[in-house]
């Protein structure tokens, strides 16, 4: 490969070279047949751009506002677990890159650095991603710690009542280390030779009875806005509005949970229509190009988030790698906006893209 890295996908190749197979597979893999994992990327590629020419594009404005926080471009960082398996500086490096890029990082519940450590390491705007365990006191503990450490929102991940079945992790006997945020609260058993610990430890401690009516309880323990991540249908988008979600993240967990769910980009419009601009709709899953960001915005997302690209950048080149990934996506978005005749984000409209559905009509 040439020395200069020119696209996000090249970081995946570098990450594969840098990481032990077990960890690379853990990050890159999806559930079962990995149908959804692949579709997330492929469905972006089926959408065609419809540019306008002879527009003054001498200045391109990309900054936007999410729940009152201004970010440099509509590209945020998805919550992903265990950054220290990718790089010794882990989430601290990711958070510093987020601060430099001026975007929002969502810290994973399953991070390898604590809520407090990440808060102390940088002044990026941070949201905290929550799973609710059977022991509800742990959610209370984590939410209070996040509030105290200056996190600005809670992101409730709703698509994981149980852990999806990632076959590579089973084969590799992948063992997750103790979750940093749960230290002193729950201890995770790491197996030396009994196979992967990923399934038992999540399924035994997660509260798979948690449902829509429990959002009222979650709201009662925090004043922070609550976003719901993992919405894929108009029905659930409507329910999220009814329970007072402050935002929605259209997500299928990067194809790691229920296989054969649709690519996120193909259901975005339906969710946006159900939400009707009442709250921000964000999307993650398969965003690898500035053109992907543009397509998601054209179909109604207020911003996108990236998961694996950040991990690949981190694994390959630490904090500098994450910065490079984010800047590459932003630079590509800027060029796409210029070439499509959209000097501002508001100029990006539904008529700038053509989807399969449009072709059928
Ligand atoms: C994730 N994801 C995730 N989501 C979440 O809410 N909490 C978590 O702890 C994790 N952990 C996690 C680990 C790894 C290795 C991956 C790849 C993903 C899902 C993540 O937030 C996001 O939805 C997807 O990563 C988005 O898809 P892309 O950008 O990876 O294609």
Which protein residue has the closest C-alpha to ligand 1 atom 24? Answer: 254
Per-residue pLDDT, averaged over 143-154, amounts to 98
> Alpha-carbon distance 293 to 198, whole Å?
32
Percent of the chain with pLDDT strictly greater than 70: 98
Distance between CA atoms of residues 195 and 331, nearest Å: 43
Residue 24 labelled as part of a binding site: no
Nearest CA to ligand 1 atom 14: 80
In the chain, what percentage of residues exceed pLDDT 90?
Answer: 91
Tell me the β-bridge partners of 129: 155
The whole-angstrom separation of Cα 324 and Cα 101 is 10
d(CA 148, ligand 1 centre) in Å: 25
Helices 234-242, 264-275: inter-axial angle, 10-degree rounding: 40
DSSP conformational letter for 51: -
Write out the two tokens for 303. 């911003």
Task: Please choose from 79, 265, 289 the residue to mutate so as to test ligand 1's pocket, defined by most ligand atoms within 8 A of CB.
Answer: 79
d(C-alpha 184, C-alpha 334), whole Å: 46
pLDDT for position 151:
98
**CA neighbor of 5 nearest in space, from 308, 336, 313:** 313
Query: What gap in Å lies between CA 290 and CA 2, rounded to an integer?
Result: 21
* Contact call for residues 76 and 104 (beta carbons, < 8 A): yes
Asked if residue 172 has pLDDT above 90, the reply is: yes
Pair of tokens at residue 14 = 């570098």
For residue 341, the CA-to-ligand 1 centroid distance in Å is 33
pTM value is 0.97
Pocket of ligand 1 (CB under 6 A): 27, 40, 78-81, 108-110, 129, 157, 229, 251, 253-254, 256, 284-287, 306-308
Alpha carbon distance 39, 134 (integer Å): 33
Ligand 1 centroid to residue 174 C-alpha, Å = 17
pLDDT in the model for residue 285: 98
| Bridge partner residues of 53 (DSSP) | none
* Residue 187 confidence (pLDDT): 80
pLDDT band at 3 (very low <50, low <70, confident <90, very high): confident
- Mutating to test ligand 1, I would choose from 34, 80, 104, 322 the residue with most ligand atoms within 8 A of its C-beta, which is 80
Structural tokens at position 55: 């527009």
Residue 31 has pLDDT above 80, yes or no: yes
Identify the residue whose C-alpha is closest to ligand 1 atom 10. 80
Examine the pLDDT at 1 and tell me if it is beyond 60.
no
* Residue 285 labelled as part of a binding site: yes
Residue 192 confidence (pLDDT) above 70: no
Answer yes or no: is pLDDT of 205 > 90.
no
How close is the Cα of 5 to the center of ligand 1, in Å?
A: 24
Whether 188 shows a pLDDT value over 70: the answer reads: yes
Residue pair 159/258 in contact by the 8 Å Cβ criterion:
yes
Residue partners of 356: CB distance under 8 A and separation at least 6: 46
What local confidence, expressed as pLDDT, does residue 222 receive? 98
Give the active site residues: 253
The answer to whether the annotation marks 313 as part of a ligand binding site is: no
Alpha-carbon separation of residue 205 from 83, 183, 188, 190 (angstroms): 22, 14, 10, 15
* Confidence at residue 191, expressed as pLDDT on a 0 to 100 scale: 66
- d(Cα 287, Cα 5) in Å, to the nearest integer? 17
Whole-number Å distance, alpha carbon 356 to ligand 1 midpoint, is 27
Q: Considering only CA atoms, which residue is closest to atom 2 of ligand 1?
A: 80
Higher pLDDT, 334 or 205: 334
Per-residue pLDDT for 158 more than 60? yes
């Amino acid at each position: 490969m040439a020395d200069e890295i020119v696209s996000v996908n090249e970081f995946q190749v570098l990450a594969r070279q840098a990481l032990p197979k077990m960890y690379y597979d853990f990050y890159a893999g999806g559930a079962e047949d990995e149908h959804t994992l692949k579709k997330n990327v492929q469905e972006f590629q089926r959408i065609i751009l419809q540019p306008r020419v002879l527009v003054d594009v001498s200045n391109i404005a990309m900054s936007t506002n999410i729940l009152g926080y201004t970010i440099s471009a509509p590209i945020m960082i998805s919550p992903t677990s265990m950054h220290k398996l990718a790089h010794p500086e882990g989430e601290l490096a990711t958070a510093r890159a987020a601060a430099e890029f001026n975007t929002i990082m969502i810290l994973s519940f399953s991070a390898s650095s604590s809520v407090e450590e990440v808060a102390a390491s940088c002044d990026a705007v941070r949201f905290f991603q929550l799973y609710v365990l059977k022991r509800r006191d742990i959610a209370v503990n984590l939410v209070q710690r996040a509030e105290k450490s200056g996190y600005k929102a809670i992101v409730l991940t709703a698509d994981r009542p149980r852990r999806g079945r990632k076959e590579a992790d089973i084969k590799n006997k992948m063992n997750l280390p103790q979750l940093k945020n749960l230290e002193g609260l729950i201890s995770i058993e790491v197996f030396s030779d009994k196979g992967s610990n990923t399934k038992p430890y999540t399924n035994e401690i997660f509260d798979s009875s948690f449902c829509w009516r429990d959002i009222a309880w979650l709201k009662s323990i925090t004043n922070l806005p609550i976003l719901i991540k993992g919405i894929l249908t108009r029905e659930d988008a409507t329910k999220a509005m009814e329970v007072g979600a402050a935002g929605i993240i259209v997500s299928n967990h990067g194809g790691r949970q229920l296989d054969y769910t649709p690519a996120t980009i193909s259901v975005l419009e339906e969710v946006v229509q159900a939400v009707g601009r009442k709250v921000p709709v964000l999307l993650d899953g398969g965003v690898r190009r500035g053109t992907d960001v543009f397509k998601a915005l054209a179909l109604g997302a207020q911003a996108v988030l990236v998961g694996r690209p950040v991990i690949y950048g981190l694994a390959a080149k630490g904090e500098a790698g994450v910065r490079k990934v984010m800047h590459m996506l932003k630079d590509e978005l800027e060029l796409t906006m210029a070439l499509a005749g959209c000097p501002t984000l508001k100029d990006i409209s539904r008529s700038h893209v053509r989807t399969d559905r449009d072709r059928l009509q």
